[in-house]
Amino acid sequence: MSFEEEWAALRSAAAERTAMRVNGVPAEGGSGGGTADLVVNRDDLGAIGNDAYALRTRLAKDGDHARPATFGAAIALTNGNFTSGAAVLKVHDRWRTHLKTLLDSCAHISNHLDFTKAQHARDEVKIVGDLAPISKLTEYMK
């Protein structure tokens, strides 16, 4: 089989898999039918959020050990008229910038997961409250 024939066969198979389905759901399931589309396990979110917070805490402490020594070396090299002093200072500044970015990212992940966990709980309460009147109507319509 030539490349063109194989490529055409693969494209055809992909088109069949992604063809639009109207008035139906895939055999392997889909929305409706009692299966939940959105599943959030609060314990998982909490564990990931805690890990991100722990990583941030440890990184804030351990990620800064070399900075003072690097800065001291850059100053000493610069004062000794070595051209590499400026390069070491640039490494120092870039490390500090990237470390701050990474710390901010870890904090953002932790905060976002905490927010998501709390928002999911609020959404759950609202959905249950919204569905309660509908279940009463369904009872009356029987």
Q: Which residues contact 64 (CB under 8 A, 6 or more apart)?
A: 99
Q: Is the dihedral of CA 14, 16, 19, 21 positive or negative?
A: negative
Range list of H helices, the chain: 3-17, 42-62, 66-79, 84-141
How far apart (Å, rounded) are the C-alpha atoms in residues 110 and 116? 10
pLDDT tens string 41-97: 667 777 787 888 888 999 988 888 888 899 999 999 999 999 999 999 999 999 999
Residue 32 has pLDDT above 50, yes or no: no
Q: CB within 8 A of 95, min separation 6: which ones?
A: 66, 67, 70
